[in-house]
Amino acid sequence: MTNSLEKNKIWAMVVAGLLVIVSLIYFSINIFYIYLVVYIWFGVIYGMLLQYGRFCMASALRDLFGLGVTRMFAGIMLAVIIFSIIMAFLETIKMTTFHTGPFGGFRIVGGLIFGIGMVMSGGCASGTLYKCGEGNGTSMLALTAITISQAVFVNIGGYFDKFTTIYVENLPEYSMSEYISTAPMSYFIGNSLLNTIIPAIILLIIAYVIWGRKSYISNTNLKITLSEEISGFFQMLAASKKTVIAGLLIGIAAGAHVFTIDALRRYFDIENFGELLKNMGYSCDINSNGRIFDPGYWYITTQEAQLGAWFLKHIGINTTSNLFFNGVGVPFPLRNPALWMSLGIIFGASIMALWNNEFKIKIPKGEFIVWGLLGGTLMGIGARAGMGCNIGAFFIRVAGGDPSGWLFGLGLAIGSLIGVKFFDWWTTRKLDNFDDFGDL
């Protein structure tokens, strides 16, 4: 075991070393690629932290509803609270890349479909990436399905174009800071406190009362004092050291990412990486407005859709003649900064998993092939129908003061509940032959 541990640590350094070499190659081609390299390394940081803390939205809701385990739910809420405080600070000093998004029922529907998919495949959009980095084959199938299903879904019969022009584009957008006139505190009070911290604490209290309490209060039959309840609540929050550390650092990293991209845009005097691509002569990569998808913050699924469309196009299936791909562009994958962020997450998770001797190639078999592909397809459809995933439509939006994030979160919760009920039925059905303690 010691030998394999040492060997894996060397492999972790090899992966990190290769990423350094890739970064240097980009620099040597053109200094503009520093923009893309920043995305790579923020991806690596996210990947390392996600793997370290086993950070996953699917785990948060599924284990809460299905098993009464509050650990991950508490971790996500903690991360979003920290990130919201940093975002409010960045908004105050006008160093942010965040934009509000449309507010409407489509967020709930998209979240619901995505929620069922993430429970089925065993990981959310970010969880799927970190699990790919651990060698999890089911997650690799899910990732493939997310990639292809999005590209196909937005191109079927022009329906997605109609959904965008007739419905989404006419929806209002909200930022909670607009309702708070006490500048300069409007971002802290509106976005962070009202949109994130108070709802997150309410949800944590609900999770504590329904699920967490019985684990942290030794005897719930006796009369319990308020201080015991408060102590139990904080024990729930701090139940997993790894989760708490990862949650805090993810919140900080996501804030640092926004700040760094904004600083780079100011440095190059651009609003979008498409301008740098054009400058380097890659007009083929950008859309008619000279742009590509360049969120400026943590994002997962859109770049995977771009990869899917690029791949399909190169095997003769064109899915790019629609509003979605006209907007985000279909750049060459190696010149797509957001896609490099997703790859960075996979590599970052690999580095951390190898370092801690937790890397294992697992080939999916039997029903897991179905769960991976079906779950990934549902996540892909849900991500497009809800305009984002657990990161882009929930985590970033909630912390940025955009209440539409909670709509997606509500959808995620309902979808997770459906997914949990399904798997509960499925595993119980398999267990019916199991009362004699024979094979399942």
Partner 1 sequence: MSKVDFKKKADGIYSLSVIGMVCPHPQLYTKKAMTKLAKDDILEVEFDNTSSGEAIDSISKSVGFEISSREKSNNNYIWKLKKL
Give the range of 67-75, 82-90, 100-108, 192-200 binding partner 1 by CB under 8 A: 67-75
DSSP state of 434: G
Give the range of 59-67, 162-170, 315-323, 391-399 binding partner 1 by CB under 8 A: 59-67
CA-based max dimension of the chain: 73
d(CA 255, CA 261) in angstroms, rounded, equals 10
Residue from 33, 36, 44, 63 touching partner 1 (CB under 8 A): that is 63
Residue 66 binds to partner 1 (criterion: CB under 8 A): yes
Give the range of 129-137, 271-279, 311-319, 385-393 binding partner 1 by CB under 8 A: 129-137
- For residues 52 and 299, which CB has a smaller minimum distance to partner 1 in the complex? 52
**Minimum distance from CB of 366 to partner 1 (Å)?**
5
Residue 6 binds to partner 1 (criterion: CB under 8 A): no
Residue 422 binds to partner 1 (criterion: CB under 8 A): no
d(CA 325, CA 314) in angstroms, rounded, equals 15
- For residues 19 and 74, which CB has a smaller minimum distance to partner 1 in the complex? 74
**Minimum distance from CB of 346 to partner 1 (Å)?**
16
Q: Are the beta carbons of 318 and 154 closer than 8 angstroms?
A: no
- For residues 349 and 387, which CB has a smaller minimum distance to partner 1 in the complex? 349
Residue 363 binds to partner 1 (criterion: CB under 8 A): yes
Residue 145 binds to partner 1 (criterion: CB under 8 A): no
**Minimum distance from CB of 358 to partner 1 (Å)?**
5
Residue from 15, 19, 37, 69 touching partner 1 (CB under 8 A): that is 69
Distance separating the N- and C-terminal Cα atoms of the chain: 31
Residue 439 binds to partner 1 (criterion: CB under 8 A): yes
Please give the C-alpha separations between residue 4 and each of 88, 135, 327, 356, in angstroms, as whole numbers. 45, 16, 47, 11
Give the range of 133-141, 145-153, 157-165, 315-323 binding partner 1 by CB under 8 A: 133-141
d(CA 50, CA 25) in angstroms, rounded, equals 27
Residue whose C-alpha is closest to residue 204's, from 219, 190, 216: 216
**Minimum distance from CB of 298 to partner 1 (Å)?**
20
**Minimum distance from CB of 376 to partner 1 (Å)?**
13
d(CA 238, CA 243) in angstroms, rounded, equals 8
Whether cis (ω within 30° of 0) applies to the bond prior to 184 is yes
Site for partner 1, residues 109 to 128, rule: CB under 8 A = 119, 122-123
Residue 234 binds to partner 1 (criterion: CB under 8 A): no
- For residues 27 and 425, which CB has a smaller minimum distance to partner 1 in the complex? 425
Q: E strands, 124-197, where? A: none
**Minimum distance from CB of 102 to partner 1 (Å)?**
32
Residue 437 binds to partner 1 (criterion: CB under 8 A): yes
Sequence-ordered list of residues with C-beta below 8 angstroms from that of 264, at least 6 positions apart, any chain: 34, 35, 38
d(CA 34, CA 24) in angstroms, rounded, equals 9
Residue whose C-alpha is closest to residue 184's, from 87, 92, 85, 94: 92
Radius of gyration of the chain (CA): 22
User: What region, left, alpha or beta, does residue 318 occupy, with left being phi > 0 and alpha being psi -120 to 50 degrees?
Assistant: beta
- For residues 198 and 363, which CB has a smaller minimum distance to partner 1 in the complex? 363
Please give the C-alpha separations between residue 124 and each of 65, 115, 298, 359, 387, in angstroms, as whole numbers. 16, 8, 14, 19, 15
Residue from 84, 96, 100, 138 touching partner 1 (CB under 8 A): that is 138
Sequence-ordered list of residues with C-beta below 8 angstroms from that of 328, at least 6 positions apart, any chain: 287, 292, 293, 302, 305, 306
Residue 438 binds to partner 1 (criterion: CB under 8 A): yes
- For residues 8 and 326, which CB has a smaller minimum distance to partner 1 in the complex? 8
Point out which residues bind partner 1 (CB under 8 A): 1, 4, 54, 56, 58-59, 62-63, 66-72, 119, 122-123, 131, 134, 136, 138-139, 214-215, 239-240, 242-243, 353, 357-360, 362-368, 371, 420, 423-424, 427-428, 430-431, 434, 437-440
